A and B are shown apart, each in its own frame.
Chain A
Amino acid sequence: MGVRASPDEPSEHGCFADIVVRCADRAYNFAYRLSGNEQDARDLVQEAFAKAFEHWGRYDPSKPFEAWLNRILHNVFLDQVRRYDHGHTVSLDAPAPAEDTEWESILPGKDMGPVEALLREERVGLLQKALDALPVHYRSAVALCDIEDMSYERISEIMGCPVGTVRSRVHQGRLLLRREFERLSDAKEVS
């Protein structure tokens, strides 16, 4: 870990206020996808920046600041999930098949064409609903991979787990999402 200036002093990353401006949008987007609502996303972002500022000495400048910030944000979110049983949040302990479960056999795929068309029409609400229904670890993995477009290695740093676990969570997260999409699509047809 290299030597860093204090977050108030200019460095290769700029002063902390500049970092906030540069990273706020991505941090907020990730926070929103995790929490599913604006108020919780705001709180998550504020607390993540506060912790980053407080623990600036632990930041390794050889790595991207955003990955470190997202890791803090993710941990803050996990802490909140553990502490409170939010109505809109699926608990960490929500039923989730074991890593070696044959998910493909219990979540058979079907033609996603009509589902995809529906989601494109009403993507804002339905997509977030489907994401909210996922157990937290799968939600994080899919959000970081598909929405934030991060590599498995970067996701493993943020989630604090091996790359193999990320691979498994991304895959299973997509299978669960597909099931949710189909369920929402069916519900839409009925109504």
Chain B
Amino acid sequence: MNRIHEERKLLSAFLDGELPGDEYRRVQAHLESCAACREELESLASVKRVMSSAPRRSAPGDLVSTLQRRYRPLPERPWMERLKERLAAPRVWVPVGALALAALAVALLFGSKEEEIPLEPLLAAHSRYKAESWVPHGDLLAANFSAEVAREYEK
């Protein structure tokens, strides 16, 4: 393989500015002394010029609008509409309701008992009420009840 062909293979890359520095300088030096390769370079440059001058084809308008419609994001719906849809969806509320019922049942079964209210102060209050009240004792159920409680307490 002779040296001329070695450089010739690199002429397109030389033309495109795609050779690294050392190779670029080697080809450049060769071109200064080789008329045939200079001619070949000019010929390749003509091909590149012709291709570069090719008129560009724009995408047809209907193709662009079809693609735009296909990939346009769906418009956001009003919040009322989205809320109604959520409420109407049974798959959300059925498990939520079942979970709430289960939680209630657990609370009833295992929940702590309420503390007992001390009876003495309550009875004392009733006794005071009975003593101080201007309401006739026999007329009110509460008063009768208080009297009964007081009697029980005094025993």
Contacts and interface: CB of A to CB of B under 8 A. Distances in A.
Interface of A: 7-9, 15-17, 20-21, 24-25, 27-29, 32-33, 38, 41-42, 45-46, 49, 53, 102, 104-105, 109-113, 115-116, 119-120, 123-124, 127, 142-143, 145-147, 149, 151-152, 167-168, 170-171, 174-175, 177-178, 181
Interface residues of B, number: 38
A37 to B, nearest CB: 11
B71 A32 contact: no
The 8 A-B pairs with the shortest beta carbon distances in the complex, nearest first, are A146-B51, A112-B46, A28-B59, A171-B12, A109-B43, A24-B59, A16-B71, A8-B73
A28 B63 contact: yes
Given A25-B56, A28-B57, A104-B5, A177 B47 contact: yes
Given A104-B40, A109-B39, A127 B72 contact: no
A1 B37 CA distance: 45
Contacts of B53: 120, 123
A178 B43 contact: yes
B63 A21 contact: no
A20 B50 contact: no
A17 B59 contact: no
A151 B13 CA distance: 10
B44 A174 contact: yes
Nearest to B8: A104
Contacts of B1: 102
Given A46-B63, A181-B47, A32 B8 contact: no
Nearest to A109: B43
B43 A32 contact: no
B48 interface: yes
Given A28-B63, A38-B60, 19 more contacts: A16-B71, A17-B68, A20-B64, A21-B68, A24-B59, A24-B67, A28-B57, A29-B58, A41-B57, A42-B63, A109-B44, A113-B46, A145-B16, A147-B56, A151-B18, A167-B13, A175-B44, A177-B47, A181-B50
B11 interface: yes
B9 interface: yes
A147 B59 contact: no
Contacts of B13: 152, 167, 170-171
A87 to B, nearest CB: 21
Contacts of B9: 104, 168, 171
Contacts of A20: 64, 67-68, 71
Interface in B1-22: 1, 5, 8-9, 11-13, 16, 18
